[in-house]
Amino acid sequence: MKFSEIVSISGIAGLKRVVGRRQDGLIVSDLDGNNKKFIPSRKHLFSPLESISIYTDDDSVPLIDVLIKMKDSTPVDANADANTLKDYLESVLPEFDRERVHGTDIKKLIKWFHILQEYDLIHKSENSTENTDSE
């Protein structure tokens, strides 16, 4: 499975893997490949993880880069208070924008980190080399 196949879907907890596309939505499965189902685009918004970035003071940093930095630290509990969450993210990404990145965003980031770490899906090589290979 590739990082580019993983999406967050509004109204549905966790992360899903895209296994097919239809004009009116996506066919997704759990990350372990079980429970395939159709999710209509009329009711849900899809956010591919590869298109998500974290705001910084100057610009933004791709999510995969932040996740890789998180591998070198011990994440705090996702249910910690907002100040603890912001202090943790500051230890990983000192230049993050404290005004635009909210505690709920950091909670989601930590939850996603644990899910992706469980399936060993946090790798930089995909974004830098695989996109240039022929498929």
Contact 10, 43 (CB under 8 A): no
Question: Which pLDDT score, from 0 to 100, does residue 124 have?
Answer: 73
Same fold, 3-49 and 52-124: no
pLDDT digits (tens, 9 = 90+) for 77-98: 999 999 999 999 999 999 999 9
Q: Read off the pLDDT band of 126 (50, 70, 90).
A: very low
Q: What would the pLDDT profile of 100-117 be if each residue is shown by its tens digit? A: 999 999 999 999 999 999
| Contacts for 104 with CB less than 8 Å, ≥ 6 apart | none
pLDDT computed for residue 134 by the predictor: 34
pLDDT confidence band for 74 (50 / 70 / 90): confident
pLDDT in tens, 12-68: 999 999 999 999 999 999 999 899 999 999 999 999 999 999 999 999 999 999 999
The residue with greater pLDDT, 131 or 22, is: 22
Categorize the per-residue pLDDT at 125 as very low, low, confident or very high, splitting at 50, 70 and 90: low
Distance separating alpha carbons of residues 89 and 133, to the nearest angstrom? 33
Residue type, 58: D
- Report the CATH architecture of 52-124: Orthogonal Bundle (1.10)
The answer to whether 30 and 43 have CB atoms below 8 angstroms apart is: no
Q: Tell me the domain boundaries of the chain.
A: 3-49, 52-124
CATH 2.60.40 fits 3-49, yes or no: no
DSSP 3-state assignment of 75?
coil
126: phi then psi, degrees, rounded to nearest 5: -60, -45
3-class SS shares of the chain: helix, strand, coil, % to 5: 35, 25, 40
Distance CA 118, CA 81 (A): 24
pTM equals: 0.86
Position 87 scores a pLDDT of 95
